[in-house]
Amino acid sequence: MTTTPANADADNRRRLSQIADAGPERLPALPMAVKDAKATRELLFTLRHFHLGDPSATEKLEEVGKDCLPVLLDPFRNTSRLRYDYPLFLYPSADGDGDQKADTLVVRLADWLEQNVHAFAPEDNAARILKDHLAWIEYRLRADLRVKEGPVPAAPLLAIAGQALQRHLKLGETDQERLGADLEQLQQRAGQGQIMGYGRSPALHLLLHAVRSRVVPRRQRLQEQINICIQGLESLLSVEWRKTDESIEPRRARDSVGLGGGLFDPLALSSVMDHSRGTRVMSAHRHERIERVLTVLRTWHQEPVLAHFVRLGSVAADWLSESPDVVDIADPDPCARASELFEQEAAKLSELFSALRIARLEIDGIYDATLHDPWFANFQWQGFSAEELLMVPAVIALEDADRVAGEGLRSFSQLLSSGRPVQILVRVMPAYNPGVGPNPGFAVGADKDPDQHGNRHLDKEPSDQDPFQRFRTELGYLGLSHRQAAVSQTSAARHEHLMQSFLAALDATCTSLHLINTGVRPPHDLVPLNAWLVAGAAIEGRAHPFFRVDPIPHDCDPPEMDFSENPQPDMDWPVHPFTYMDDAGNRVVGDLAFTFADYCLLIPPMRKHFRVIPPGCDSEALIPMQAYLAMPQDEAYQKVPFLWAVDGNGVLQRLVVSRGMALGCLDRLNYWRTLQAMAGVRNRHVDQAVERTRAEQQQQASEERERLLAAHAAELDQVRRQAAGESMQRLTDRLLGLDLAAGMSGDMRSLGFDPTAPGATDIPADTGAQQDTQEQLAPATEVDALSAIEEETTLGFDDPWIDTPLCTSCNDCLKINPALFIYNEEKQALLGDLNNATFAQLVEAAELCPAKCIHPGQPWNSSEPGLDELIERAAPFNQ
């Protein structure tokens, strides 16, 4: 187990916890077991041989039960109580302007119900019964949609669910009427919207919805442009006609007058009129060109077809051929046929777009026959503008993963390199390796009808060939090698990401490749799991990571990779909370990674890579899968990886994992890290650049610190020398003004000389005695003066002092004792009254001072308690 990262993907945790009426918590528990060291050694021998692929070891170990699930998916075992993103509410595609975002086209039905009920009943107590039973309506709609494929009109479906709710509640007459009125308002707000469940082809339905939302408004704008050009050309011809004799023919002059035409003679009027023309007449060649363009524009009619689907075999149901705006085509080579079909559709539009361009040039009066005639004579789709390219009906090739990795690779690659804006959809099963064996896609076989749990399964088993015998063929990586093609790897389980990919591709003018996982599984009596949950597990287990690359045509800058929607994208594996009961009945809380092996446990043919480890088998050689994958290879070979799983009774099990599966996990991890590097999430070169920049910044900071310390030391030394000089100067001044009487010794006074006595200077003295006295006094005076200087000098450095210029005005010292520390005019600290302070306060201030400019010196009061400790604390600040 590992620790949950701080940036764990909260959105994916939300997706994995949407359960209605989940009931009491049931924690998985380890079974009681008797531990036998000898039996463990023998069993470990068998487990290691199974891990290494020994068939004889496989027979000695218990198979994984059909009701066994990865431990993190155990809470979602009961699919009938699982709430997830589907059903979806689809807004009418024709209501927008052709630039709608994904969230304005498709939303979760649960969100739509809450938003719309709140819209007409914003108060808490309004529509209370309906608000309390929205989850029930959602559950009922999901059950009704199990037998329906694709979008269904929302209003009738809501009416049926509302009636069922009323019968279920059996309310009184008043409440029944109130609930009925609220349900009617909800139905009205649905309008022309549709509801869609997670059927067998959710991706195709959402793609068609995206196509309609884009193409219908574009066609409306195109028709407006056609009408404008027709009017402009007709105006040109009308002006030209007025220059002709026919426009002034007498009969027309009479008719132009109206009812008064009979009151005058038009022939006489015509005879006196000036028939000369002052303007140039349009050339016959130009007139013919305008007439030809007008004919093209007037006879143009929009075809109802919005999309052409080209597939291999039968696609599950007849809904494609039944849609009036869709053409369903079967072909053994969908990519090649889609390329030809685009050429045909573009050729139909080239004449129209040529006519529109000529019309605009003629209306603006800038058509140059010498320049433009050759251009339009060879006008093909390569000359289309981006807006014109987007008007070509969508051409969609539904391919098979195994075919494009094998015999269909050539046509697949040619289409990706052609620049034709064709959509290529490939449905993949992430547990299998394309090209190794049958990998059911959109065009292979038909999905079976839903089972009793509403799940749909493929009717074709994949190949028994081990997909881990060689490195996986990455179709997404293959698509990226065609640098001018848009590539997205997405899933129907995340409709937001899927719709964003579709809309970006439909707005692009290049070939687009969509690799889609829907979560359907081969038929098996394995514990039934919702297909949406299986598809989501593929995303969690790094089996089908999301990415999207949308290159800009003719742009030399590399395109950026969109890596959003991946759970915990900066981690190797997503990590989620895991709580269980150990064999002693103790509650254990930790975190567990969801790996590719966890996902493969959901795929029936992949279960041969797992066996149950008997209870009581404890060994340091057995380690969890995520720990095994993180170990260096030279250490991993000594270990045996296992996976945590839970059976239908809530018994926690450990499953030994084969080496083939472990290699498959490493292969997935390698590809995941490759995508991380391409997306800039965890790139070795970026990390190295960051480390270099960090080292340079640290070096610069260190050099700057050394410079500042040196400058500070020099300034401090200067201040100290200056302070010492000032102290010596003060001492000298004191000595030069010394009162000799104050320094006279007792011996002198014993000789009867008292200079302070009145008239002492008038007392006569013996010259010889006075000279002797002066000779005796001089040495003593010199000695005392030198002693005083030495004493003053010594005491001067033991006295407390402050490097005032270094003070930062932090106020820390004043807070301790405002009498001991005072500020000068520049608000820098000076020493105040030492008599109103203690040595302890001075030492404390020195320790707090950020500038280290307070020097406590030696204590001046020998009776202060704790001086030994204080002197020791003060020593670093006196240096």
DSSP 287-322: HHHHHHHHHHHHH----S--EEEEESS--SSSHHHH
Query: How many Cβ atoms are within 10 Å of 860's Cβ, its own excluded?
Result: 16
pLDDT of residue 792: 42
Mean pLDDT of 97-113: 91
For residue 53, give the nearest of 343, 415, 631, 466 by alpha carbon: 466
pLDDT of res. 10: 46
Rounded distance, CA 276 to CA 283, Å? Answer: 18
Beta strands 88-90; 801-802: pairing state: unpaired
* pLDDT tens digits for range 639-666: 999 999 999 899 999 999 999 999 999 9
Q: How confident is the model at residue 785 (pLDDT cuts 50, 70, 90)?
A: very low
CATH number at residue 425: 3.40.50
Residue 397 belongs to some domain of the structure: yes
Q: What is the pLDDT of residue 700?
A: 87
The closest of 421, 427, 418, 671 to 550, measured between CA atoms, is 421
Distance CA 384, CA 380 (A): 7
Task: Assign residue 701 a region (left: φ > 0; alpha: ψ between -120 and 50; beta: otherwise).
Answer: alpha
Per-range mean pLDDT, top range of 169-178, 701-710, 728-737: 169-178
For residue 453, what pLDDT is reported?
42
**CB 64, CB 645: distance < 8 Å:** yes
Provide, rounded to the nearest whole percent, the portion of the chain with pLDDT above 70.
80
Pairing of strands 640-646, 821-823: unpaired
- The pLDDT of 46-64, averaged and rounded, is 92
Considering the domain architecture, whether residues 437 and 309 belong to the same structural domain is answered as yes
Token match 């039934």: residue? 528
Mean pLDDT of 71-93: 86
Q: What whole-number percentage of the chain has pLDDT above 90?
A: 48
Average pLDDT over residues 56-81: 88
Q: Residue 809 is encoded by which pair of tokens?
A: 């005005």
- Same domain membership, residue 476 and residue 332: yes
Encode pLDDT of 376-416 as tens digits. Answer: 988 999 899 999 999 999 999 999 898 999 899 999 999 99
Which of 451-455, 670-674, 727-731, 869-873 bottoms out in mean pLDDT, i.e. has the lowest? 451-455
**pLDDT, position 768:** 47
Q: Which of 505, 529, 553 is at the close of a domain?
A: 529
CA–CA separation, 441 vs 152, rounded Å? 25
Instruction: Give 552 or 771, the one with higher predicted confidence.
Output: 552
Query: What 8-state DSSP symbol labels residue 3?
Result: P
Domain count, the chain: 3
Residue 568 in any domain: the answer is no
Q: Is the pLDDT of residue 13 over 70?
A: no
Token match 């808490």: residue? 124
Alpha-carbon distance of 399 to 441, in angstroms, equals 7
What confidence score (pLDDT) does residue 619 get?
Answer: 87
In a domain, 743, yes or no: no
**pLDDT tens digits, residue range 330-359?**
899 999 999 999 999 999 999 999 999 999
Q: Among 137-146, 709-718, 754-763, which is the least confidently predicted range?
A: 754-763
Q: What are the pLDDT digits (tens) for 187-215?
A: 999 999 999 998 888 999 999 999 999 99
**Integer Cα distance of 811 and 813 in angstroms:** 6
Q: Name the token pair of 140.
A: 């009922």
Average pLDDT over residues 444-473: 54
Higher pLDDT, 320 or 596: 596
Q: Residue 411: inside a domain, yes or no?
A: yes
Q: Is the pLDDT of residue 246 over 80?
A: no
Residue 275 lies in a domain: no
Q: What is the pLDDT of residues 253-285, one digit of tens each?
A: 556 555 555 665 665 655 665 555 556 788 889
Instruction: State the pLDDT at residue 763.
Output: 42
Q: Is the pLDDT of residue 713 over 70?
A: yes
- Quick one: pLDDT band at residue 527, thresholds 50, 70, 90? low
pLDDT surpasses 70 at 451? no
For residues 174 and 309, membership in a common domain is answered with no
Last residue within a domain, chosen from 197, 223, 243: 197
Helix (H) or strand (E) segment spanning residue 588: strand 587-593
The predicted pLDDT at position 254 comes to: 58
The angle formed by the CA atoms of residues 491, 496 and 501, to the nearest 5 degrees, is 70
Bridge partners for 801 per DSSP: 855
Model confidence at 449, in pLDDT bands (50, 70, 90)?
A: very low
Give the model's pLDDT for residue 245: 64
pLDDT of residue 599: 94
pLDDT at 783: 46
- Its domain, for residue 174, covers 88-197
Q: Indicate if 326 and 473 belong to the same structural domain.
A: yes
What pLDDT is stored for residue 551 in this prediction?
83
Of residues 228, 780, 202, 278, the one with CA closest to residue 517:
202
> What rounded mean pLDDT belongs to the chain?
82
CB atoms within 10 A of CB 564: 13
Task: Tell whether 437 and 311 lie within a shared domain.
Answer: yes
Top pLDDT among 539 and 554 is at: 539
pLDDT, residue 75, reads 87
SS3 at position 121: coil
**Has residue 457 got a pLDDT over 90?**
no
Residue where one domain finishes, among candidates 197, 231, 265: 197
Inter-residue contact 577 to 4 (CB < 8 Å): yes
Say yes or no to pLDDT of 439 above 70: no
- Domain assignment present for 736: no
The pLDDT of 690-707, averaged and rounded, is 86
- Secondary structure (DSSP) of 551-582: PPTT--SPPPEE-TT-SSTTSSS-EEEEEEE-
What pLDDT shows up at residue 616?
A: 82
- The CATH number assigned to the domain holding 810 equals 3.30.70.20
- Residue 264: per-residue pLDDT: 57
- Altogether, the residues listed in the chain come to a count of 879
Tens digits of per-residue pLDDT, 543-586? 999 999 988 765 667 778 888 889 999 999 999 999 998 888 88
Per-residue confidence band for 703, with pLDDT thresholds at 50, 70 and 90 = confident
**Overall average pLDDT of the 109-115 stretch:** 94
**What's the pLDDT band for 464 if we cut at 50, 70, 90?**
low
Q: Is residue 703 part of a domain?
A: no
Q: Does 830 fall in a domain?
A: yes
Quote the pLDDT of residue 716.
83
In sequence order, which residues have a C-beta less than 8 Å from that of residue 473 and are 6 or more positions away? 405, 433, 434, 435
pLDDT digits (tens, 9 = 90+) for 512-524: 999 999 887 656 6
Closest by CA position to 488, among listed 419, 413, 549, 551: 549
Whether the pLDDT of residue 730 is over 80: the answer is: no
